[in-house]
Chains A and B, each alone.
Chain A
Amino acid sequence: MMTSLQRIAAALACREPDRVPFFLLPILHGARELGLTIREYFSRPRHVVEGQLRLRRKYGHDCLTAFTYAALEVEAWGGEVIFRDDGPPNAGAPIIRSADAIGQLVPPEVGRTDCLLQGLETLRMLKEAAGDEVPVIGSVIAPFSLPVMQLGFEAYLDLIYDRPDAFARLMALNEEFCVAWANAQLAAGASSITYVDPVGSPTIVPRELYLRTGLPIAQRTLARIRGTTAISFASGRCLGIIDDVATTGAAAVSVSTDEELGAVKRACRGRLAVVGNLNGIAMRSWSEADAGRAVKRAIASAGPGGGFILSDNHGEIPWQVPESVLLSISHAVHTWGNYPLTWTQTDE
């Protein structure tokens, strides 16, 4: 039997491991395990580490993650984070109030920013517990996607279309920050970095704009990140830009429920592994049978030949998804995910 680390390495190399690897990402559920509020849970690295370890013991997935919440990155730039008890925290008011303010903006230094240092501490502790058995995932918000939280979405779209000068300056600052933050995570023990870039998805911007903006930014940024990377579109579409994504150096791409997993896998043609694409939001009301069907369908579409990691389509399981559903998903992967996947030729 392979370790989780070997299993993921085989999948990323677009080969068949012993079983379909499975990234379960219950980011918030650790709070429930520890009987803490979400805010308390995220306030200490040791909580997150304990939560992640308990969740992996329960569900038997193939990763640990140090991701807490996306708004952490604007917190690092001086922004406010708003917590709630029944879901992920969100970024508060924009830290950049006008395009002209970008001229004076100074990116945070990773080594001097408390919230990032906490993240690195979480990674170090997770890596120590993981050893060489299971990968520990680090993540960054792409320079092209971070401004939605830095400025607000509407102001960011106006910036892209109306102020190319200020947009370029912001991208330069964000790229420096992103590279430093990613490399610090790798140095602290992250096995890989998920580059979260949903604004680059054709759901949000047309391909011709991506080719001029998000894509070159991703190419430059990923080239400077000293480790394995994967691109996540956070449940935005990606089929129309797969050939472009394949030029960034990323090893894997996440797939939305809005797209057919098999079609994306075929488009990747062994250049990228695919990660996806269970619907995390619909999952909340799944029965055991629904979970089994969804897992089987995903494995049948993308499992054969390897290069596939089963996961939800966003990179985070909502707080409202019950333990019973996660257990059913886990059970189904362990039942139907063993290679060779002979059943996929006869079944369904």
Chain B
Amino acid sequence: MPHTVGLLIDALLALDRSRVRRILLEAGSPDGLEAAFEELMTTALEEIGAEWEKGRVALSQIYMAGRICEEAIDELLPPREGGRHGAPRLAIATFDDYHMLGKRLVYSMLRAAGYQVFDYGRAELESLLFRVREDRVDILLLSVLMLPAALHIADLRRRIDQAGLKLKVIVGGAPFRFDATLWREVGADAMGRTASDAITLVRRFSGGIA
């Protein structure tokens, strides 16, 4: 497996789609193709994310790696019916901000890891409150790029708590990377420094069910 992951990372960074497909299909797994895909892609994307944090991989490569993984899922796996049994109900939004790429990256990481996610697009406080309640969301992932939007998450948190909703809030985006204490200040339950951190954090908060 570690060797295969290395090959997959190289193929993803080289944007070599046919090599990516070959590696995934050859990997196989006693639990089936889907499990093998998830395992390999998650490990590769997490590794690529970690390299970005060290400044050794660029954001465009994270984007392309996520895109290629999603294409492989769509082409090679049968369409999935509904969510996985026992998986947490996840939703993602760009909050009070116009910058959508962060959300897009996190969304592809979660898809590669086999999660289904409600995508609320660009959302403001009231509509978000309404939708998380309606959809009975367990974990809400928020992406922002501007500092005022990040600070505004504190108001959302307050309203979530006032409404008695028991959901976890995971935040991410540039302001949180530049101020490592900001996520606590706005009342988030966790912060991801790179898009693939969403996978680790969702696993942590779903207590191993998924």
Binding site for B on A (CB under 8 A): 82, 84, 86-88, 90-92, 152-154, 157, 160-161, 202-206, 209, 235, 237, 239-240, 257-259, 279-282, 284-285, 318-320
B130 interface residue (CB < 8 Å to A): no
Q: Complex: how many Å from CA A90 to CA B96?
A: 12
List 16 A-B pairs, Cβ < 8 Å. Answer: A88-B146, A152-B100, A160-B60, A161-B15, A202-B55, A202-B58, A204-B59, A205-B58, A206-B60, A235-B178, A239-B55, A257-B178, A259-B55, A281-B182, A282-B179, A284-B179
B57 interface residue (CB < 8 Å to A): yes
Q: Does the CB pair A240–B55 fall under 8 Å?
A: yes
Q: Complex: how many Å from CA A259 to CA B178?
A: 12
Number of A-B residue pairs, CB cutoff 8 Å, is 74
Q: Complex: how many Å from CA A240 to CA B60?
A: 16
Nearest chain B CB to A231 CB, angstrom units: 17
What is the size category of the interface that chain B forms with chain A? 20 to 34
Q: Does the CB pair A204–B58 fall under 8 Å?
A: yes
Q: Complex: how many Å from CA A280 to CA B151?
A: 15
Q: Which residues of A contact B149 (CB under 8 A)?
A: 87
Q: Which residues of A contact B146 (CB under 8 A)?
A: 87-88, 90
Q: Does the CB pair B178–A206 fall under 8 Å?
A: no
Q: Complex: how many Å from CA A196 to CA B69?
A: 32
Q: Complex: how many Å from CA A161 to CA B60?
A: 10
Q: Does the CB pair B175–A157 fall under 8 Å?
A: no
Known: A86-B148, A88-B146. A281 touches B175 (CB 8 A): yes
Known: A161-B64, A203-B58. A281 touches B148 (CB 8 A): no
Nearest chain A CB to B53 CB, angstrom units: 9
Known: A87-B147, A157-B60. A258 touches B98 (CB 8 A): no
Q: Which residues of A contact B104 (CB under 8 A)?
A: 154
Sample of 13 more A-B contacts, CB < 8 Å, known A87-B148, A258-B55: A86-B148, A90-B98, A90-B146, A92-B98, A157-B64, A161-B15, A205-B58, A206-B58, A235-B178, A240-B55, A281-B179, A285-B181, A320-B147
Q: Which residues of A contact B59 (CB under 8 A)?
A: 203-205
Q: Does the CB pair B100–A320 fall under 8 Å?
A: no
Q: Does the CB pair A206–B57 fall under 8 Å?
A: yes
Nearest-CB residue, chain A, relative to B96 = A84
B7 interface residue (CB < 8 Å to A): no
Known: A87-B146, A87-B148. A154 touches B63 (CB 8 A): yes
Q: Complex: how many Å from CA A257 to CA B178?
A: 8
Q: Which residues of B contact A82 (CB under 8 A)?
A: 98
Nearest chain B CB to A185 CB, angstrom units: 26
B206 interface residue (CB < 8 Å to A): no
